[in-house]
Amino acid sequence: MKEQHQRENEEQGPQDTCFEGGVFPAVLSFPSDYPLSPPKMRFTCDMFHPNIYPDGRVCISILHAPGDDPMGYESSAERWSPVQSVEKILLSVVSMLAEPNDESGANVDASKMWREDRQQFYSLAQNIVRKSLGL
């Protein structure tokens, strides 16, 4: 069985967004061939976001395997590279929270709501923020 290392982090919601002030625990799991292969990231709290699967897994280009995208959606420059750092991953996730990519949705319901009912999306996000703070 391959050894895998995990690192727990807490992401804070970015300023001036519907996630502002929230504290969102997450786990970065590093494969045994890291840094050749990207880590995986999963939020361990409730999240509702177009680029986060319902089980908390993060879907973002920087965490996709290196090389060309078989679907042709992402350029190889957007995908994982061994020169990426944990800091760059976390900055990318904070940016993703602020500006979802609803065209590549991991959570179809969140993507649809982001496009069609932004006010309801913001309301759900604010509930997640309050829950993350124990309020």
Alpha helices for the chain (secondary structure H): 86-98, 108-116, 118-132
Cα–Cα distance measured from residue 20 to residue 33, given in angstroms and rounded to the nearest whole number:
35
Handedness of CA 98, 103, 105, 108 (dihedral sign): positive
Residues 6+ apart with CB under 8 A from 134: none
**Residue 1: how many other CB atoms lie within 10 Å:** 4
The residues annotated as belonging to the active site are: 59
Which candidate, 24, 36, 31, places its Cα nearest to that of 4?
Answer: 31
